[in-house]
Structure 1
Amino acid sequence: KGNNNLVKAVRACWASLFTARAIYYRVKNNFEHMKVLIAVVVQKMVNSDKAGVTFSVNPSTNNENEIVVEACFGLGEAIVSGSVNPDSYIVDKNSMEIKSRDIKEQEWAYVRDESGKTVKKTIKEEMRGIQILKNEEIIKLAEIAKKLEEHYNKPQDIEWAIEKDKIYVVQTRAITTIKKIEEEKEAEEITIEEQKTTEEETEKTPAEESSDISNAEILVTGNTASPGIASGIVKIVHEVNELSKIQKGDVLVTKMTNPDMVPTMKRASAIVTNLGGTTCHAAIVSREMGIPCIVGTGNATSVLRENTIITVDATHGKVYKGRITIKKPKQAEEIRRDYGELITATQIKVVMDFPEYAEKAAATGADGVGLLRAEHMILGTKVHPAYLVKQGRKQELIDILVKGISTVARAFDGKPVWYRTLDAPTDEFKSLEGGSDEPEEENPMLGWRGIRRSLDQPGFLRAEFEAIKKVHEIGLKNVGVMIPLVTRVDEVRRAKEILDDVFDDEYVEFGIMIETPASVWIIEDICKLGIDFVSFGTNDLTQYTLALDRNNDLVQKHYDELHPAVLAEISRVIKICKKYNVQTSICGQAGSKPKMAAFLVRQGIDSISANPDAVQKIRQTVAITEKRLLLDAERRNLRPQQ
């Protein structure tokens, strides 16, 4: 509101003409920078009750005879950013009849408050799951889309808002990426086995399935981040504001994912990125979600074509042209043997980011949660946590954490759940409300993060501890807390003081992450200070020990958690912790690797945390290793004395 803010907003629009993406687009298409113009339209704010987008051609199937209308409650930002699953309606363009309705349950909406700010508002229970648009509104929006397409003589992507039953079209633009149906059919002819292009047939095939695919064309290759196979339509995302085009079953192709993309990642059948290694954001999140993912292709966003069909074989790091059904040969069918439940002395736990997957993770039979990350619970609110505290809204933050932590604690009732305090680099905070003051850092991985930041902003750390206390008070006392990126004994001491003050000296399990070489070398002093457990964060420990960026695909070939230096650090810490009766665990991605698991068991680790899909495999490895150790010990006892 106000003239000054209006001028700032207009200037920001003008400045967008010279963003990196805009400059790149002009260079790529040979447009002269000084001959491209931009106009800024200033219009009344539509305080919408409902909002959404309309496509005059079905963007999922390229069907020119269908109009797709998507809608959400409140302001349109929720649907454009991909933060909510919208209602989706398909209208026959010729008869103007509604062909299908896909109704989703929307729990919250963006609304404009009295001060003019955009805020989240919870939708009443009775309003959730009802059809957002009236039938006549759907038809009216379809008619508008048809008229706009006829006027511009091109398929249109239209944004609209409804306020007090009046429809406002706030934007329309040509869908330049829509391919003709004839081209789509031609693309399908190269497939190994033709199938109908429907959402239902976008399927994942178990990683161990294979068939002769010698005739298929490989488009790009990369590193396996999350195994599996899926087919779908390519949707390339360069900016966060493009996320709304991802439909259920599409293949998300992007430079690299970030926390803002998580709601959209859940809709994708597969993910392909230009950058990243096996421990990058895309890899970690896709593994927990069970979505096939290939990272580090280098050129997927430039080689893959929008709206074409591809098959992502993430197990082997290959992307094929067309839709391929890979069938398991009969002779290779898995022979299942029931050996009974495996019982191991070493506990096998899971790593978790998303509380909504807690029941699924618990169903693996895991012995607890070795790492419950705070980042996605907090970043999912779209508001900077320190900003909430500063605004006197700390209770909102506590409630969010209590809801997420208690969901996991209930699913693992009676088993330990170790919550790690916030460890988000500054670049992950910038896009949040209140994040504009985040510092610019050359290398956020080595910057203001982990416990060093939490101690600089103790109000937020205290809020995390208060949330855990509240979880304990409702009877879920299986939750412990650990602090990340420790480099000094004093950091542990100060964190313990805040924890003891919040809990009023009531007992709560307290531990630290071993992620830095510094923590390896001061571990004895930390044990003397008094901790219950340590957990190896091998993702960071490896990158800090080997001096390489784990998100840089150029050095991925050197990234090795089994490097002798890393193994020596782990061995040293386990040995010292045993001396002080401190539990040892691992929660990095290396815990999902059988070789690392076998090494850890031999060193005497107390528990290993793996991705949910790797729990049984790691339990088998641990069981075999433990039996081998027992057998070796027995053989030594039976060996004749010389």
Structure 2
Amino acid sequence: MLDVMKNDIYDLEKINLSDLKAVGEKAIALSQLSQQGYNIPSGIVVGSQVLEAILSQENDSIWQRIQKLDLNDYETLKATADQISHHIETQSLDQEWCQQLYQIMTVWETNHIIFRPSLVFPDQSVSVSGLLTSYCSQCDLKAIEFGLKKVWKSLFSASSLFYWQQQGISWNKLGLAVIIQRIESAIASGILEVNPQQWQIKAVRGLGYSLVRGESLPETYKINPHHHTIESHQLGYQTRIYSLDASLQITSPQTEVETEILTSQQLSQLINLAAKLQATVNQNFSCEWTFFPQENSFQLYLTQFSAQVTMFKPSASSSLIVKGLGVARGRVTGKVYLVGKDDDRAFPTGSILVTKSITTDNLPLVKSAGGLVTESGGMTSHGAILARELNIPAVVGAKGAIEALQGETEVTLDGDQGEVLRPSQGEKTRDERKIDVNPPRDSSVLATQLMVNVSQSDRAIALSQLPVDGVGLLRSDLMLLPLLREKPLSTWLSSHREAFSQRLASLIAQFADAFFPRPIFYRSTDWLTLQQQDVSLLGIRGTYSYVKDSDFFSAQTFALRYLQHQGYYNINLILPFVRTVEEVKFCKKLLTEIGLEKSCQMWIMAEVPSVIYLLDEYLKVGIEGIAIGTNDLTQLLLGVDREKGEFGDQYNECHPAVLQALKTLIEKAREGGISCSICGQGVVLYPELVEKLVGWGVTGISVEESGINTVYNLIARSEKRILLEAARNHLNQK
């Protein structure tokens, strides 16, 4: 029997700073806020000395055993974790001490309690997000010992052991206290992030599990900290709601998954809380909050607090130089290189490339850049697409950037906020790119194909390792730019036509080989010449350009035929920006003459609104699928040029007209017995689209690399929801 004492229990409302080594930073923060009048759920803390006493019962020193672990030997790592877990499990806690804990909890008059870990470690900057386990249970005597042990064991899971060792953290400095608090079913929960430049409020229905586990996209408000006004508001997307009954329950919303969560009164309370906390804490912070029901109203509580949050905290010497639209996430500080001004000097790798737009001349520079700033463009412009594919922070639509940055030797580029700033004094060159390295949380096999959009051949092998069904859009325009930098297109076609086709074939083959036998959909070039400047949206482009001059298209089809002869039967063709049935007939005839075999499916991009009305005619020509390009379709339906950043607020892929067009195209494709995929940024910008698309019967969704994991989970949940509704309807009919 483990000997524990009453002084191992701390009242959360009365903890002193001198108790830090026993209760941990998380408990100290909550206690200090409680003592200053903030609403914190009632709680107690079981000090870290209790776990220390449990571990001291082990004859063979646990610390020595851990220090000798080989991180590459997973079996030994897992065995050690299991041994420690078993040791903790078999230790019996003093029942009088447990009864003491329970007596304290009965005063709270709650049916449920939550056990939260509070790490004791000198370096509070170390992130332990996702490593340590919280546990929710009914408030009864039997649950106390089980809940404490569940949290304690999480400190020694295989993933935790690996992390502590990899970080070189000394085990004799580690400790773990456990916060026990009352918890109720919540109306809404979320996260409040505060810095001097912006406040951000994220909210989900019910308890916050769906948010912290990444199972939902929260309703998000961005608040101006000076005027307390809403700068932007984005609806969330939630298919799971956590509540409390006999245990932690998961339910699906009975209404639309995309609705407002916070009332105006609740939002006002959160804004007031942010203002009050900022004055109290006087530094950047993040906190978790919950609205618990209270009779006919609600009460706002703080449940977690951290002043160590990865937000930008500008110093007095930082200043905004130019602002645009942030289109590729991350933050980087580097030397400035102005296209058109600095062309006489070598481009330093990792520099911030500043240009009017992306051209054949500056593409190689983009691939070596640490960040990108363009004066033109929007969220779906070529510069934005390329930056996201290369995973470099980018700001587009930054008017006057070249002039504004003359004389600047080094700047900080913030792709999240869309800002280019003068770095603070002493700030070193750094790179904080946002890379999604976590696998999809849902391991379901998808019925809807998930594919990737790509253009850079050096990414082929890495992308083939993603959980995708192939390449849904191989962007030829961007892929060909390096070749056109070597020679003008006219020179390639007039004097080196065969070499051009061979070089193109070798580029496509890198994808065909890496993904084989998964399909590759090569979209042929959209422009008559990729070296055009300031091309009109409605100019000579797409299949119309093939009719005007077929040489370029013909050279591409010869490359595809060559690959077929090499055994790559996973390559298919998508015709871009189709305006008329006659254009498709022309291309079909050319493919037949060249001898491209039937294994190469011919699809068309559904970008021009007339396709909605002429799809039956295209089916008669022999197309085998359509790829809906939401970027062009949206701008043509709404009359908004996506390359013009000033129209960003009007460019909306969830506009009712766009939704009706998508629904009609998908349903007509199903009726015609052909495949229908979506290729565009819309499903990433507007995740609520996914459930609609899956419900209408889309056969595939193709997105950029950065959106794969998010869209994978959205598709999986949408398909499960459809199956659940079908099962309910079937039961109701019985």
- The TM-score, its normalising length taken from structure 2, stands at 0.54
Find the counterpart in structure 2 of residue 633 from structure 1: 726
Instruction: Give the whole-Å Cα distance in 1 for the aligned partners of 2:616 and 2:698.
Output: 17
Note the C-alpha offset of 1:640.
Answer: 6.1
Instruction: Please give the secondary structure, in 1, of the residue aligned with 2:322.
Output: strand
Unaligned runs of at least 5 residues, structure 1 = 1-191, 193-207, 329-333, 432-441
Q: Structure 1 residue aligned with 2:715, among 622, 626, 631? A: 622
Q: Structure 2 residue aligned with 1:388, among 492, 495, 511? A: 492
Note the C-alpha offset of 1:577.
Answer: 0.7
Instruction: Give the whole-Å Cα distance in 2 for the aligned partners of 1:348 and 1:504.
Output: 27
CA shift in 2, pair 1:338/1:283, >3 Å: closer
Instruction: Give the whole-Å Cα distance in 1 for the aligned partners of 2:579 and 2:591.
Output: 19
Instruction: Please give the secondary structure, in 1, of the residue aligned with 2:627.
Output: strand
Say if 2:328 is the partner of 1:226.
yes
Instruction: Give the whole-Å Cα distance in 1 for the aligned partners of 2:710 and 2:410.
Output: 33
Note the C-alpha offset of 1:244.
Answer: 4.7
Say if 2:549 is the partner of 1:495.
no
CA shift in 2, pair 1:339/1:554, >3 Å: closer
Instruction: Give the whole-Å Cα distance in 2 for the aligned partners of 1:602 and 1:326.
Output: 47
Contact 1:209/1:327 (8 A) holds in 2: no
Instruction: Give the whole-Å Cα distance in 1 for the aligned partners of 2:332 and 2:491.
Output: 40
CA shift in 2, pair 1:581/1:354, >3 Å: same
Note the C-alpha offset of 1:573.
Answer: 0.9
Contact 1:258/1:282 (8 A) holds in 2: no
Find the counterpart in structure 1 of residue 445 from structure 2: 343
Say if 2:492 is the partner of 1:400.
no
Instruction: Give the whole-Å Cα distance in 2 for the aligned partners of 1:398 and 1:337.
Output: 37
Contact 2:527/2:545 (8 A) holds in 1: no
Give per-residue Cα distances to partners, 1:210-246, cap 9 Å, x unaligned.
253374433322212111111111222236x817542
Instruction: Give the whole-Å Cα distance in 2 for the aligned partners of 1:570 and 1:491.
Output: 23
Note the C-alpha offset of 1:269.
Answer: 0.7
Q: Structure 2 residue aligned with 1:530, among 588, 608, 622? A: 622
Say if 2:371 is the partner of 1:270.
yes
Q: After superposing the two structures, state which structure 1 stretch, 351-360 or 300-309, moved more.
A: 300-309
Note the C-alpha offset of 1:568.
Answer: 1.2
Note the C-alpha offset of 1:296.
Answer: 1.3
Q: Structure 2 residue aligned with 1:469, among 561, 573, 587? A: 561
CA shift in 2, pair 1:232/1:506, >3 Å: same
Instruction: Please give the secondary structure, in 1, of the residue aligned with 2:361.
Output: helix
Find the counterpart in structure 1 of residue 640 from structure 2: 548
Say if 2:349 is the partner of 1:248.
yes
Find the counterpart in structure 2 of residue 210 from structure 1: 311
Contact 1:276/1:295 (8 A) holds in 2: yes
Instruction: Please give the secondary structure, in 2, of the residue aligned with 1:522.
Output: helix
Contact 1:219/1:303 (8 A) holds in 2: yes
Find the counterpart in structure 2 of residue 479 from structure 1: 571
Find the counterpart in structure 1 of residue 672 from structure 2: 580
Find the counterpart in structure 2 of residue 458 from structure 1: 550
Alignment-mate amino acid for residue 277 of structure 1: G
Instruction: Give the whole-Å Cα distance in 1 for the aligned partners of 2:418 and 2:671.
Output: 44
Find the counterpart in structure 2 of residue 88 from structure 1: none
Give per-residue Cα distances to partners, 1:541-569, cap 9 Å, x unaligned.
11211122211122222111221112211
Say if 2:461 is the partner of 1:359.
yes
Instruction: Give the whole-Å Cα distance in 1 for the aligned partners of 2:520 and 2:618.
Output: 22
Note the C-alpha offset of 1:340.
Answer: 6.2
Instruction: Please give the secondary structure, in 2, of the residue aligned with 1:639.
Output: helix
Q: Structure 2 residue aligned with 1:519, among 574, 598, 611? A: 611
CA shift in 2, pair 1:306/1:349, >3 Å: farther
Alignment-mate amino acid for residue 637 of structure 1: H
Note the C-alpha offset of 1:411.
Answer: 1.0
What pairs up with 1:602-613 in 2 under 5 angstroms? 602-613=695-706
Q: Structure 2 residue aligned with 1:600, among 693, 700, 708? A: 693
CA shift in 2, pair 1:384/1:568, >3 Å: farther
Instruction: Give the whole-Å Cα distance in 1 for the aligned partners of 2:693 and 2:333.
Output: 37
CA shift in 2, pair 1:253/1:339, >3 Å: closer
Find the counterpart in structure 1 of residue 525 from structure 2: 422
Alignment-mate amino acid for residue 525 of structure 2: L
CA shift in 2, pair 1:302/1:497, >3 Å: same
Contact 1:425/1:447 (8 A) holds in 2: no
What pairs up with 1:82-93 in 2 under 5 angstroms? none
Instruction: Please give the secondary structure, in 2, of the residue aligned with 1:540.
Output: helix
CA shift in 2, pair 1:598/1:219, >3 Å: farther
CA shift in 2, pair 1:214/1:599, >3 Å: farther
Note the C-alpha offset of 1:615.
Answer: 0.7
Instruction: Give the whole-Å Cα distance in 1 for the aligned partners of 2:439 and 2:474.
Output: 33
CA shift in 2, pair 1:474/1:576, >3 Å: same
Find the counterpart in structure 2 of residue 23 from structure 1: none
CA shift in 2, pair 1:326/1:634, >3 Å: farther
Alignment-mate amino acid for residue 589 of structure 2: E
Q: Structure 1 residue aligned with 2:540, among 445, 448, 464? A: 448
Note the C-alpha offset of 1:504.
Answer: 5.9
Note the C-alpha offset of 1:603.
Answer: 1.6
Contact 2:561/2:596 (8 A) holds in 1: no
Instruction: Give the whole-Å Cα distance in 2 for the aligned partners of 1:370 and 1:530.
Output: 20
Instruction: Please give the secondary structure, in 1, of the residue aligned with 2:362.
Output: helix
Alignment-mate amino acid for residue 347 of structure 1: Q
Contact 2:608/2:632 (8 A) holds in 1: yes
CA shift in 2, pair 1:532/1:304, >3 Å: same
Give per-residue Cα distances to partners, 1:176-201, cap 9 Å, x unaligned.
xxxxxxxxxxxxxxxx9xxxxxxxxx
- The TM-score, its normalising length taken from structure 1, stands at 0.61
CA shift in 2, pair 1:211/1:630, >3 Å: same
Instruction: Please give the secondary structure, in 1, of the residue aligned with 2:603.
Output: strand
CA shift in 2, pair 1:417/1:505, >3 Å: closer
Contact 1:354/1:377 (8 A) holds in 2: yes
Find the counterpart in structure 2 of residue 203 from structure 1: none
Find the counterpart in structure 2 of residue 196 from structure 1: none
Note the C-alpha offset of 1:538.
Answer: 1.4
Give per-residue Cα distances to partners, 1:126-171, cap 9 Å, x unaligned.
xxxxxxxxxxxxxxxxxxxxxxxxxxxxxxxxxxxxxxxxxxxxxx
Give per-residue Cα distances to partners, 1:570-608, cap 9 Å, x unaligned.
111111110121101112222433233333212211111
Percent identity of equivalent pairs: 29
Contact 1:254/1:301 (8 A) holds in 2: yes
Instruction: Give the whole-Å Cα distance in 1 for the aligned partners of 2:672 and 2:399.
Output: 47
Instruction: Give the whole-Å Cα distance in 1 for the aligned partners of 2:336 and 2:387.
Output: 17
Instruction: Give the whole-Å Cα distance in 2 for the aligned partners of 1:504 and 1:556.
Output: 41
Instruction: Give the whole-Å Cα distance in 2 for the aligned partners of 1:338 and 1:400.
Output: 36
Note the C-alpha offset of 1:276.
Answer: 1.3
Note the C-alpha offset of 1:419.
Answer: 0.5
Instruction: Give the whole-Å Cα distance in 2 for the aligned partners of 1:306 and 1:620.
Output: 46
Give per-residue Cα distances to partners, 1:279-332, cap 9 Å, x unaligned.
11210111111111011122322323444322211012222321658999xxxx
CA shift in 2, pair 1:337/1:506, >3 Å: closer
How many residues are matched? 418
Instruction: Please give the secondary structure, in 2, of the residue aligned with 1:234.
Output: strand
Q: After superposing the two structures, state which structure 1 stretch, 293-302 or 394-403, moved more.
A: 293-302
Instruction: Give the whole-Å Cα distance in 2 for the aligned partners of 1:357 and 1:224.
Output: 23
Note the C-alpha offset of 1:248.
Answer: 0.8
Instruction: Give the whole-Å Cα distance in 2 for the aligned partners of 1:376 and 1:259.
Output: 9
Instruction: Please give the secondary structure, in 2, of the residue aligned with 1:618.
Output: helix
Larger radius of gyration: 2
Contact 2:378/2:644 (8 A) holds in 1: yes
Contact 1:235/1:245 (8 A) holds in 2: no
